[in-house]
């Protein structure tokens, strides 16, 4: 966090996702900005 944030993508995903976005896109945690939303 001292170096700041510079994610290369933003993703809107379901709150009940069982696969982390970092696994799907093969990146390390912190390289994506992920927003999880619950609802229909």
pLDDT at 8: 83
Task: Look at residue 13 in the predicted model and tell me its pLDDT.
Answer: 86
Query: Among candidates 40, 38, 22, which has minimal Cα distance to 13?
Result: 38
Domain chopping of the chain, boundaries? 1-40
Query: pLDDT digit string (tens) for 1-40?
Result: 567 778 888 998 888 778 888 888 898 878 889 898 887 6
What is the pLDDT at residue 1? Answer: 53
Only one residue has tokens 């896109």, namely 25
pLDDT, residue 21, reads 84
Rounded-to-integer distance, Cα 7 and Cα 34, Å: 10
Distance from first CA to last CA of the chain, Å, rounded?
33
Cα-Cα-Cα-Cα dihedral sign, residues 28, 22, 1, 11? positive
């Amino acid at each position: 966090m001292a170096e700041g944030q510079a994610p290369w993508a933003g993703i809107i995903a379901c709150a009940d996702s069982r696969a982390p976005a970092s696994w799907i896109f093969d990146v390390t945690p912190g390289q994506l900005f992920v927003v999880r939303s619950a609802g229909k």
